[in-house]
Amino acid sequence: MSAYRRFLFRCGLVVVPVVVVGALALLWSSHPSPLPIVSSNARFGVTLRCTFGTNHVHFYGGPLDGLLDPAITRLSRNPNPPNRLSFDTADPSTALWVRVTHPDYGNVAARSVVVATPTGPARYPIGDIPRFRALLRSPSTGAETTLERKTGIQQFNKRCVISGFSLPGSLETHRGSVLRIESTNGEEVVTFRIP
CA distance 164 to 185: 19
Which residues, 6 or more positions from 125, have their beta carbon under 8 angstroms from its beta carbon?
A: 111, 112, 154
Amino acid 46: pLDDT = 92
User: Mind listing the pLDDT tens digit for each residue in 2-14?
Assistant: 777 777 677 666 6
CA distance 21 to 70: 16
Give the residues of the chain that fall short of pLDDT 70: 1, 8, 11-32, 62-74, 76-82, 106, 108-113, 123-129
Amino acid 192: pLDDT = 96
Dihedral Cα 53, 54, 55, 60, nearest 10 deg: 60
CA distance 145 to 150: 15
Amino acid 58: pLDDT = 85
The 3-state secondary structure of 6-33 reads HHHHHHHHHHHHHHHHHHHHHHHHCCCC
Q: Could you count the other beta carbons within 10 Å of the beta carbon of residue 184?
A: 9
Amino acid 175: pLDDT = 93
